[in-house]
Homo-oligomer: A and B are copies of this chain.
Amino acid sequence: MTTVLKLGGSVVTVKDEPETVDDERLAAAADAVVAAEDDLVVIHGGGSFGHHHAAEHGVSTTDGTHDAGAVQAIHGAMARLNARIVAELTERGVPAVPIHPFSAGARTGDGTLKFPPEQIRTALGEGFVPVLHGDLVVQAGEGATVLSGDELVVELASALGADRIGVCSTVPGVLDGDGAVIERIDDIRDVADALGASDATDVSGGMAGKVRTLLALSAPAQIFGPDALAEFLAGGTPGTTVGDGG
């Protein structure tokens, strides 16, 4: 069994304080990972490490930079957060190893991500827990653009044929209009109103886009909050179940 786990940047960092880890939440997340039994790939977001650097330099998933200093500022901050998370896991006996997407992937001129996964597959086979992160990648014609943790989740879950996908963010699941967790989503149309995803051109990167891309995968995904991480890693299906692998 291979599980791809996304740890939202907002779960492990303090949102409004640049480059500040939320020590307590990171420790709790790392504690939960110790108990995981499946082959596990961890992907974390940028939170207060990546986003403000990217915004400062005007870099997004589509607008790139050719400024190597900007690349180092953004990528360097993400690598520092990655090192911190890898260290927390290692301290607890998790055989975590860092994989930096900037070193591995690239986009073609039309934005298509090419991310050869053999190093991750091999690492899993050897018992390591690869820890990746939202990052920059080089893109033909654009310099370097943002590769979000969410895009990486979809890419790797598909490339590795993951059996389970977990997206841990600060909300307990996908919420309906009344703020209650939707138990299951099999079709984006069923929740279009609640998510404000009324047309097919949603590019917000918000929950609607997240659900849409997770629905396209051939394995079920769970969207849940930090308190349910241990339950998910123990094989449970907390929060919202997106798709059924059908």
Contact = CB atoms under 8 A, between A and B. Distances in A.
Interface of A: 66-69, 71-72, 75-76, 83, 86-87, 90, 94-107, 114, 116, 118-119, 121-123, 125-129, 137-144
Nearest to A65: B126
Contact of A119 (B118, B125, B138): B138
Contacts of A83: 76
A9 B119 CA distance: 25
20 contacts: A68-B90, A68-B97, A68-B129, A71-B97, A71-B128, A72-B87, A75-B97, A98-B102, A102-B103, A103-B103, A103-B104, A103-B119, A104-B116, A105-B119, A106-B123, A114-B118, A122-B139, A123-B138, A126-B143, A128-B138
Nearest to A86: B72
A149 B144 CA distance: 25
